[in-house]
């Protein structure tokens, strides 16, 4: 494992070599290799957790894009046409839901372009059918397979052909194909919106200039400003309002829940999710714990064994692998309170729960501005037990405050304003 200093030294040396190559040889083979190396170095940056920004790689992207841009013809943007540029989309998860909300709210003709930078649609690992079904309000295009330079040319030519007046960039952190193409066009009057959704990871693109650099939380925006990004704004996480809890909770049928896939939780150490579920169900007043999100058979078995160990009936735990609407499901299940996953929380999950009037018991992670009830913060099992007790005792008050928080800070108008929708 490289240290941060070793990684940055290796990166600096590699960039010098690539810049010399670009100055002396600007053929497609060299450019393709440089785009590939940018992808690999950004991937390593993620693996080694090197800060939140990759400015030297961003500068190299601009140099490569400049070479490609000289080969393009100048175009004027077309009013009322938007392109949303993404790497991949999925049947679940906040990233895809956010793109879906932009499509639903815009009045523009909209094209969603997927770079498929890892070739997972081509290989069949990811399915396009469910994506087409979800995005009926927009056209969805996948860039064909090919070398890195082939995909950049395909994407750049597509952007130039369509000539949108708004380009929304919502790429994965290491998608060098997408970021290079986003700066290779020659469209006059095009406004660019960088949606910094990967801002907890070292990511390409975060230090480049856009018409709007949008961070999803106050903490992420502050971090970008501290790293030299002058024009960043907070774009509040938003989910369409689907109503709030009505009536009182039946105290004999109280349900708690958590939401997230295997990547959000651990089943080892002090943040063991099985232990968290077990501690919750030790409260006699809590009848059921529901986990929404796909868990492996091994993880489900750990939960089962943990419950049996403490004499808790395993039938009090339910796992729902997937739901079409989390907000509606939380209401349908009549969930009392949501325990956020740890070590990784879910931003949009918290917004949906609080919008529904469901208090969120949140783990002590760097991002806290998206949570309505500071009293429900926890860092370990003991503090979680205390937070559960407070949620049970003060549910009515916390439910009202959660809904008010959503209405004030995560409403549709704020979201639309940031995106010029």
pLDDT tens digits for range 46-77: 666 556 688 889 999 999 999 999 888 899 99
Instruction: Mark whether 199 and 346 lie in a shared domain.
Output: no
Q: What is the mean pLDDT of residues 404-408?
A: 97
Based on the structure, what is the number of domains in the chain? Answer: 2
Give the domain range for residue 299. Answer: 254-409
Instruction: Mark whether 329 and 357 lie in a shared domain.
Output: yes
173 pLDDT above the threshold of 70: yes
The model's pTM is 0.88
Q: Which residue has the higher pLDDT, 213 or 14?
A: 213
What was the pLDDT predicted at 323? 93
What is d(CA 238, CA 244) in angstroms, rounded to the nearest whole number?
Answer: 15
Residue 418 maps to a domain: no
Instruction: Mark whether 259 and 231 lie in a shared domain.
Output: no
Residue 245 maps to a domain: no
Instruction: Mark whether 57 and 123 lie in a shared domain.
Output: yes
What was the pLDDT predicted at 198? 60
260 CB contacts (<8 Å, ≥6 apart)?
293, 341, 344, 346, 349
Instruction: Mark whether 288 and 317 lie in a shared domain.
Output: yes
247 pLDDT above the threshold of 70: no
Cis peptide before 45 (omega within 30 of 0): no
Beta bridge partners of 86: 114, 170
Q: Helix, strand or coil for residue 198?
A: coil
Yes or no: say if 336 and 245 are a contact pair by the CB < 8 Å rule: no
9 pLDDT above the threshold of 70: yes
Residue 200 maps to a domain: yes
What is d(CA 372, CA 124) in angstroms, rounded to the nearest whole number?
Answer: 41
Instruction: Mark whether 327 and 387 lie in a shared domain.
Output: yes
Instruction: Mark whether 139 and 62 lie in a shared domain.
Output: yes
What is d(CA 170, CA 144) in angstroms, rounded to the nearest whole number?
Answer: 19
Yes or no: say if 89 and 99 are a contact pair by the CB < 8 Å rule: yes
Q: Which residue has the higher pLDDT, 44 or 152?
A: 152
pLDDT tens digits for range 303-318: 999 999 999 999 999 9
pLDDT tens digits for range 74-105: 999 999 999 999 999 998 777 898 999 999 89
What was the pLDDT predicted at 14? 83
Give rounded-to-5 percent helix, strand, coil for the chain: 45, 20, 35
Q: Which of 18, 202, 108, 129 is nearest to 419 (CA)?
A: 108
Instruction: Mark whether 268 and 208 lie in a shared domain.
Output: no
pLDDT tens digits for range 262-291: 989 999 999 999 999 999 999 999 999 999
Question: 199 falls in which pLDDT band (50, 70, 90)?
Answer: low
Q: Please identify, among 201, 235, 269, the residue that sits at the C-terminal boundary of a domain.
A: 235
Rg (CA), the chain: 23
Residue 248 maps to a domain: no
Instruction: Mark whether 217 and 108 lie in a shared domain.
Output: yes
Question: 391 falls in which pLDDT band (50, 70, 90)?
Answer: very high
22 pLDDT above the threshold of 90: no
What are the tokens at 333? 């299940």
Instruction: Mark whether 74 and 189 lie in a shared domain.
Output: yes
Q: Please identify, among 208, 235, 262, the residue that sits at the C-terminal boundary of a domain.
A: 235
Q: Please identify, among 206, 235, 264, the residue that sits at the C-terminal boundary of a domain.
A: 235
Residue 420 maps to a domain: no
Q: DSSP letters of 132-189?
A: HHHTTTSEEEEPPP--HHHHHHHHHHHHHHH-EEEEEEE--TT-HHHHHHHTS--EET
% pLDDT > 70, the chain: 96
Question: 249 falls in which pLDDT band (50, 70, 90)?
Answer: low
What are the tokens at 204? 């390409």
Q: Which residue has the higher pLDDT, 77 or 14?
A: 77
pLDDT tens digits for range 335-375: 999 999 999 898 899 999 999 999 999 999 888 999 999 99
Handedness of CA 128, 130, 135, 136 (dihedral sign): positive
What was the pLDDT predicted at 21? 82
CATH number of 55's domain = 3.40.50
Q: What is the mean pLDDT of residues 107-134?
A: 93
Q: Name the average pLDDT for the chain.
A: 91
Q: Which of 120, 126, 108, 127 is nearest to 166 (CA)?
A: 108
% pLDDT > 90, the chain: 71
Instruction: Mark whether 219 and 275 lie in a shared domain.
Output: no
Question: 248 falls in which pLDDT band (50, 70, 90)?
Answer: low
Q: Which residue has the higher pLDDT, 4 or 27?
A: 27
Residue 43 maps to a domain: yes
Instruction: Mark whether 351 and 230 lie in a shared domain.
Output: no
């Amino acid at each position: 494992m490289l240290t941060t200093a070793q990684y940055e030294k290796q990166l600096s040396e590699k960039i010098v070599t690539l810049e010399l190559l670009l100055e002396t040889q600007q053929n497609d083979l060299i450019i393709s290799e440089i785009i590939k190396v940018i992808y690999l170095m950004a991937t390593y940056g993620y693996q080694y957790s090197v800060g939140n920004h990759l400015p030297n790689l961003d500068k190299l992207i601009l140099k490569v894009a400049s070479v490609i841009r000289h080969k393009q013809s100048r175009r004027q943007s077309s009013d009322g046409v938007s392109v949303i540029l993404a790497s991949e989309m999925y049947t679940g998860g906040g990233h895809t839901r956010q793109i879906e909300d932009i499509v639903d709210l815009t009045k523009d003709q909209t094209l969603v372009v997927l770079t498929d930078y890892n070739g997972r649609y081509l290989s069949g690992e990811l399915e396009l059918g469910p994506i087409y079904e979800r995005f009926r309000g927009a056209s969805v295009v996948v860039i064909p397979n090919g070398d890195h330079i082939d995909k950049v040319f395909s994407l750049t030519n597509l952007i130039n052909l369509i000539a949108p007046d708004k380009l929304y960039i919502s790429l994965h952190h290491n998608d060098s194909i997408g970021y290079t193409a986003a700066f290779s066009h020659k469209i006059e009057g095009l406004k660019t919106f960088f949606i910094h959704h990967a801002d907890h990871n070292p990511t390409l693109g975060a230090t480049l200039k856009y018409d709007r650099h949008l961070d999803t939380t106050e903490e992420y925006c502050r971090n970008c400003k501290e790293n030299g990004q002058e024009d960043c704004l907070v774009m509040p996480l938003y989910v369409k309002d689907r109503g709030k809890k009505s009536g009182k909770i039946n105290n004999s049928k109280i349900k708690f829940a958590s939401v997230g896939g295997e990547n959000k939780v651990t089943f080892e150490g002090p943040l063991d999710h099985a232990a968290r579920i077990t501690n919750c169900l030790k409260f006699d007043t809590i009848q059921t714990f529901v986990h929404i999100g796909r868990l492996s058979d091994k993880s489900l078995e750990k939960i089962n064994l943990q419950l049996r160990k403490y004499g808790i009936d395993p039938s009090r735990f339910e796992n729902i692998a997937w739901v079409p609407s989390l907000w509606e499901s939380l209401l349908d299940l009549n969930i009392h309170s949501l325990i956020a996953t740890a070590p990784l929380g879910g931003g949009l999950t918290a917004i949906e729960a609080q919008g529904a009037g469901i208090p969120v018991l949140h783990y002590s992670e760097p991002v806290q501005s998206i949570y309505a009830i500071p009293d429900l913060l926890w860092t370990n099992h003991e503090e979680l037990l205390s937070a559960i007790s407070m949620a049970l005792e003060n549910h009515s008050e916390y439910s009202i405050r959660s809904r008010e928080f959503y209405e004030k800070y995560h409403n549709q108008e704020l979201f639309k304003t940031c995106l010029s929708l």
